[in-house]
Amino acid sequence: MASEEGQQHPLKIYWIMWVGLFVLSGFSYTTDFMDDGIVRQFLILAFMFAKAGGIVWIFMHMGWERPALKLAILVPPIFIGVLIWLMAIEGNYTELTRIEFFGESTFVPEEVHH
Amino acid sequence: MSDAATMDGLPDGAKGVVTDYSADKQAFHVPWGKAMMWIFLLSDTFIFSCFLVGYMHVRMAATDPWPNPSEVFGLSLFGTDVPLLLIAIMTFVLITSSGTMALAVNMGYRKNRKATFWLMVVTAVLGATFVGMQAFEWTKLIMEGVRPWQNPFGSAQFGSSFFMITGFHGMHVTAGVIYLLVVANRVRNGFYEKRGGNYEIVEITGLYWHFVDLVWVFIFAFFYLW
């Protein structure tokens, strides 16, 4: 599995990945026709992570790299979760504070025309 | 130096990490260009994450209603409104370009210069198509009155996050198209043949290109679908 020789793999795996990405993107798109709710949100995330994983693992060859590189590149992004958590708390707080001091929104949106 | 006796209980992969990190020599057994590209992409991951988390924050904090992206980005086709049509086409264009790029990398390692060159050119053309469609999208929204500071459909923050996130991504695609064309031209004119016929650079260019597609996967899910 060492990559000193470069990443040389059979073409078949790229074709499977390519078709898989098309199918998953099609599924992603169909979630737009669903009713909003926890099921739709779960599916959006599931298809997103499946596509992202496939791109990184197969197309970017991360699956064939040595664990040292995998760890150095794939572990740090996990900590973005902390930022998401903090900003979600802050977002709720900001919204409540705005409603408390400025009142509910009176904005009347226009209809979208194409 | 690593002490083999202290690693007895560890699985093989973990042993490899310890020896690679502690051996006082090259830690990543890949060409330096590839390691540097991965580290650059990691830093870019954090930049795009900050943008998307910032978008999450302003969307949660906004008291005005958030515009429905499905309607705002919809297109009217033969009298029916199709939601997110252009965005879906853009997504498929970018995936297609990722596939042609993966094949270009493969052909590069097979030293098939002609196929590598043409596949990279096709990838660049698809990337340019993507940027063109994005320019169309921007024009359309600006004509409808969407600005970074206000829009007629809801929260002002919608416009600011839209232009910032898609603009930064579009800039990456544009840079990628230029990068692809430069490397493709060097593949064609034999530049890498004079340097020992090493086509690792095609894979490094490919890493950047796949990353641009990867970011779009997240933008598509969080900005357009959510």
pLDDT of B1 > 50? The answer is no
Q: List residues bridging with B80 in a β-sheet.
A: B77
Residue B188: CB atoms within 10 A of its CB come to: 15
User: What ipTM goes with this model?
Assistant: 0.92
- A40 CA to centre of own chain: 14
pLDDT of A1 > 70? The answer is no
pLDDT of B25: 77
B20 and B131 in a single domain? The answer is: no
B13 and B106 in a single domain? The answer is: no
Domain span holding position B10:
1-30
Report, as an integer, the average pLDDT of B23-40: 88
B24 and B46 in a single domain? The answer is: no
Q: Which of A96, A26, A53 is nearest to B214 (CA)?
A: A53
Structural domains of chain B, count: 2
User: Two tokens at A14?
Assistant: 């790229």
B26 and B40 in a single domain? The answer is: no
Query: Can you give the pTM of this predicted structure?
Result: 0.90
B190 and B160 in a single domain? The answer is: yes
B19 and B123 in a single domain? The answer is: no
Give B99→chain A minimum CA distance, Å: 6
Domain coordinates of chain A in residue numbers? 1-65, 66-103
B36 and B88 in a single domain? The answer is: yes
B5 and B67 in a single domain? The answer is: no
Residues 79-138 in B contacting A (C-alpha not used; CB under 8 Å): 81, 83-84, 88, 91-92, 95, 98-99, 101-103, 105-106, 109-110
B contacts of A42 (beta carbons < 8 Å)? none
